[in-house]
Structure formats: C-alpha cells, structure tokens
Chains A and B, each alone.
Chain A
Amino acid sequence: MDSISMETGFIIAGILFTLGLTGVMIRRNLIFVLMSIEIMLNAAGLAFVFAGSFWNQADGQVMFIFILAVAAAEVSVGLALIILIFQKFKTLDIDQLSKMKG
C-alpha cells in the first residue's frame, strides 16, 4: 500500500490545525469557535495517527481514541454552556461577552 509520507501527513495536520486556530481567532459566533476547537483537536489526533503508523505503534491510535472521548466530553459541556449563555445574554457574539476583565 502506498503510504503517505510522514512529512505530508504532518503538513496536512498542520494545515488543519492552522485552519482551526484561525477559526478560533476570527470567528465571533461561539458555536463556530467551538467547532474550530474541534478541528484543532482533530488535527492533533491526525498527527498522532500519522506518527503511530510511522513507527508502527498502536499508541498513536490509542491517543486518538482518548482525544475523541475528551472532545466529546468538551463539546457536551461547551454546548451546555453556550445554551446557558444564550439564555442569559441573548447573544453568542464573543466580542460582546467581555464582562470578565480586570
């Protein structure tokens, strides 16, 4: 089987991570910010899988399972928070949700 090289894999993971990060930085809607965070998590998981296949180790895939589980938990908490925030502030624009300042 033709395998994708290690470098290509990491570049793909890097691009995916950058996409997610950019989303977090420029998106204002909280739901999109949450989705971008998911993308970043998946980019990290992809990097683990590539690394695991490169060294023929199952650890990479094990880590990905962990990340999936953590992401699921995070999303469930995050979505619940978003719903609460929306109920309270009637908006999901994070530029307006800036009450916590020094």
Chain B
Amino acid sequence: MQIFIELIVLLPFLGFLILSFFGKYLGKKAISATAVGSVGLSALFTIILGVKLLNEPDTALFASLWTWFDIAGFNPQIAFYVDSLSVVFVFVITFVGFLIHLYSAEFMVDDDGYARFFAYMNLFVGSMLILVLADNLLLLYLGWEGVGLSSFLLIGFWYKEPENAAAARKAFIVTRVGDTAMAIGLFMLVYHFNTLDIQVLLNNIPGQWEVDNPLATATALLLLGGAVGKSAQLPLQTWLPDAMAGPSPVSALIHAATMVTAGVYLIARMNVLFIQSPVTMTVISIIGATTLLVAGLSALAQYDIKKVLAYSTISQIGYMFLALGVGAWSAAIFHFMIHAFFKALLFLGAGAIIMALHHEHNMFKMGGLRKKLPLTFWTFLIGSASLAALPLITAGFYSKDQILWYVWAGEHGSTWLWLAALTGALITAIYTFRMIFITFYGEQKTVVHQKPGALIKIPLIVLAVLSLLGGFIDLPHNFGNFDLFSRFVTYTLPGIEIEGENLEWILQTISAGVALFGVYLAYLFYLKKIPMYNNISAKLPGLKKFLLLGWNFDGLYNRIFVVPIFTMARINKRDFIDYIYTGIANLGLFFNSVLSKTQTGNVRWYIMGITFGAIALITIMFTL
C-alpha cells in the first residue's frame, strides 16, 4: 500500500521533470501521453487506496520517506498520511485532474507552449498532492507554496499579454499576504509544541490550550489568514477574478476544483485547533456568509463568462467556509467534492464555448448556441443546475441543502447565517441561469468556428454524470437516509450536534423553492426580458458598475496600499542613505578641483610657494 501512496505523489512530478527537460524533443502525442498518463496512473492508484480505505475507514495509511532535516529536536519528515479526509481530496485532485488533463490535450493542441503547459499542470498536481497528503504542516506549506507557484505560472501562461502577467503577479502577491500570516501561525505552533506533525498537534492541542485560550485563538486566526488568501475569501478575494487570464483548463483545475479549496482543507485538517477557539469559528462562518453574498452579487453583473464562474467559485467556497464555521465539517467536504465536479464541468464547458467562438469571452456576444453546440449545452446545463441546486436530481442540491440544514440546526448555527445562505442560494440560481439564457438562448451573434472533439467531450460527459449522481452518496436523514460519505469522513472529522426541532422537510422545501424561484426570475429577466429589469438596470448604472468591479475592492486596495507605497517609492527613488556617501565623494571632488587649480605648471610660482611656506613655517616655529 505504501508504494501506491509514494507513486501517487511521484508520478506527476516525474511527468513534470520529463516534460521540462525533454519537452522540446517530444512530439505533441508523446507530451500529452506523458502528462495525462502520469495523472491517470495517480488516479488509478488513488482509487485502489480509496477502496481499501472504504473497507477499513478507521485505519490511516502512512508512508514515511525520509527525515527532511533535524535541528534541535525539530525533525519534520517527508511523510504522507492518508485518511478519509485526505483521500477525498486526493481523489478529486487526481480524478478531476486527469479529466482536465485529457481535455487540455485537445484544448491546448494549437498552442506553442504545449509541453510547458503540461509541465506546469503536472507540477501543480504534484504540489497539490503534497499539500493534502503531508503528514506535517511544514510539508503542507511546501505544497501550499508549490501550488501558489504553479498557479502563478499558469495564470501568466500567455505571458506575452501584459495584463496576463499582471494578473499572475496579483494572484501571487495577494495570496502571499495570507501565506505570511499562515507562516507566523506555524512559527507559533513550533514554538509551543516543538513539532509540526499534524497528528501529534491534534492530540496535544486540547491538553495544552484550553478552549478560548488567546494563543489558540491567535494561531487559529493566523492559519485562517492563510486559508482566506488561498481560498479567495473576503478580504483577499480580489485575485481570483483576474486569475481567469489563464487558459480555461487551468481555471477549471486550479481556480475551481482544487487549489482554491486548499483553505477548506487546512481548516478541516486542523479542526481540533479551530474548535478550541469558538471566536475563530464564528469569524469563519461570518467570512463565509459575507463572501458568498458579496461574490454572488458581483457575479450578477459580469459579462465575461469566466468571470461569472470565478465569482461563483468564490461564493461557493464561501458556503464551504460557512459550513466549517458552524462545525458542519463533513458537509463542507461534501460540498467541496460536488463543487469540484460541477465547477470543473462549467469551466471546461465555458472553455469549449470560448474555443468554438475563437476566444470570445463576452456572453452578450454569444447567444443561441443551444443548437450549434448541443453536447456543450446539455452538459453546461447540468453543471448549472447543480450549481443552482435544482432539487432532487442534481448533486449540488444535496450538498448545499446539507449545509443549509446544519447552518440552521447545528449547535453553532443561527437564523441570520441561514438567511444569508438562503439569499445566496437565490442569487446563485439567478446568475447561473442568467448565464445559460444569455449564452445559449436568443439570437446567435457569433459564428461557431470549431466543434469540440472527443477528448473535450469525454471529460464533459463524465463530469456531468458526476454532477448529477455524485449527490446520491449522501442523502438527507428524512429521505433516503444514506450517509456513506459523511460517515466515511467523520472517521477523521468531528461530527455535528443537531439542536432544534425537526424542521428539515420545511427547510428543504424552502431552499428548493428558492432555487426554482431564482431560475424563474432569471427566465423573466433575461429570456422574456420583462421591462422591470431594464428599468432597474437603467436607473442604477452606478450599482451595475460597482458590482461589475466586484464591489470595487481593487480600487479600495489601490488607494490604501498600492498608491501610498508607490508614492513612498517615488519619493525615495534616490535612496536617502545614499546622499551621505555621494556627499563625501562630492566633497573630495570639490577639494580636488580647487587644489588642481594651484598646479599651474609655472615653476616660479612653485618656488615662491616653497619659499614663503618655509618662511611661514620657520616664523611659526620660532615664535612658539
């Protein structure tokens, strides 16, 4: 078993090395075979591991490779730890990653940087696997930075456009803010426990830090900072919409399915620490609730199809944070998995549309694509239905309903948070079907150049099936009562206490009704185009612009951080300290110019100088 764990991590890195060193000499077939094959094999081994863990869910698998370093008793290992939590993540990373690699093999085929693209993608998959499999937080941090690096490289993949490079830098710098907080949190853990081994920490934290200990709260908040940066939550969410500058498969893999949920993983992994700090848990749920509303409203005003999906991703991760905050650990992880399926599907579908229309991102220039791209339409519709949580048939309904139910009924839940989440569900349904109606219905505005081939169709179909059926592995208590997933994950994560009376039926009906009502509203506004909508949007152009810019967080941060720093840099362009040294040099030059005037070349002046100097010296000597 151990060899499988090692191979799962090793194979993508092997692919990365082969492609980066020999990519130039390989043909496109060989390149895609290397990249897709390495991730595919990883996925295969993950399934073997998963089956084993499903049979014996209470045993964790462990593979220790070597000691990284050993200084003063602090000895992090290069070691991997597989339990029911990490195996879910590994499954999503390798399996969805495999489908996206397959898709990219066709999607990127005309690009000159084919080998470079797949090398980065494999590097990403490898780093992400290290992140979720690491048995200590230092190794996790290595993976954490590794995915940050590959995200930077892939956002700026088409680096010849200056905006893309700027977006890559922005993503890197903004997440770095969170990473710094996280690093400080890790230092605090090392200082107090002298280890970063996750299992040791989880065992020792409750003994050393009682509930509400200020140190526990500080550490938890610092780790939360890292999670917020990586998962694009308020207030560090500004990088994700810009990250859409990367190719669509990158958005699907990194900025929807896997990397942005690293924050969710971190919090779930360190659940004991967060439970010791109820304040932090409240902060997490408030961040989640606020983010899902802010991002959802921003998604309503976008016209770039990928930006709608980007804001929707931020909003859906907000749901996961909300679930984590109220202690619904398994619901958060369940929503993560379902979200990875349907959001990867939506991004891949959007990529197929964009490719078919020759890099057209603007939804208002699409229109009427239902007949031209039937398969893309149907799979995209399934993904959207799952995102909007249409009741009973879609996976998104089951995962989101679980979150809503726990937010209402969980011991830390509250009516306000539930209302926020419900409003979010309404907004989600509206913007999702706004996207569908504008893109696929109405008149056709752009000619379809190119139909997707088999390698694009297969991942779309597989992900569409998963977006429909994935939800049935965990059905609510009141019907079906099938808890395969939550029982499996609860071997690693704490369960949730339910308070309050049994209102589950009513709540489910409400949330189902809200989702359908949202779809109906979108139908009225964007397909039937009732005059009320036009009146609203015409009267409030400022609001529309504000939402289009994502609540203008960029403008705010520009004013608070970017402009002052640039101003200071401009003032100090010629280093203040340097004035001292250039001053000394200038003084020397001045004396030089004065003294060199005395060297006239006239010998009689010299002898005069010597004579009168000697007389003066002698006079001084005798008078003293």
From A25, A28, A33, A99, contact of B601 by CB (8 A) = A99
- In A7-31, the 8 Å CB interface with B consists of 21, 24-26, 28
> B-side binding surface: helix, strand, loop or mixed?
helix
Cβ of A100 within 8 Å of any chain B Cβ, yes or no, is yes
Q: Would A25 and B611 count as touching, CB distance under 8 A? A: yes
Cβ of B359 within 8 Å of any chain A Cβ, yes or no, is no
Cβ of B604 within 8 Å of any chain A Cβ, yes or no, is yes
- Give the shortest distance, in Å, between B532 (CB) and chain A (any CB): 90
A32 to B611, CA, bound (A): 18
Contact flag A102-B611 (CB < 8 Å), given A25-B604, A94-B604, A95-B604: no
Q: Would B604 and A102 count as touching, CB distance under 8 A? A: no
| A94 partner residues in chain B, CB cutoff 8 A | 602-604
Nearest residue (CB) in B for A37 is: B607
From A25, A28, A95, A100, contact of B608 by CB (8 A) = A25
A28 to B602, CA, bound (A): 11
| B597 partner residues in chain A, CB cutoff 8 A | 102
What mask results when residues 183 to 198 of chain B are scored 1 for a CB within 8 Å of chain A, else 0?
0000000000000000
Cβ of A101 within 8 Å of any chain B Cβ, yes or no, is yes
Cβ of B567 within 8 Å of any chain A Cβ, yes or no, is no
- In B567-601, the 8 Å CB interface with A consists of 595-601
| B604 partner residues in chain A, CB cutoff 8 A | 24-26, 28, 94-95
| A28 partner residues in chain B, CB cutoff 8 A | 604
- Give the shortest distance, in Å, between A22 (CB) and chain B (any CB): 9
A97 to B604, CA, bound (A): 11
A95 to B601, CA, bound (A): 9
From B595, B600, B607, B611, contact of A98 by CB (8 A) = B600
| A101 partner residues in chain B, CB cutoff 8 A | 599-602
A94 to B607, CA, bound (A): 12
Q: Would B601 and A98 count as touching, CB distance under 8 A? A: yes
Report A's interface with B, CB cutoff 8 A. Answer: 21, 24-26, 28, 33, 94-95, 97-102
A sample of 27 cross-chain residue pairs with beta-carbon separation below 8 angstroms, ordered by A number, consists of A21-B607, A21-B611, A24-B604, A25-B604, A25-B607, A25-B608, A25-B611, A28-B604, A33-B603, A94-B602, A94-B603, A94-B604, A95-B602, A95-B604, A97-B603, A98-B600, A98-B602, A98-B603, A99-B601, A100-B601, A101-B600, A101-B601, A101-B602, A102-B595, A102-B596, A102-B597, A102-B598
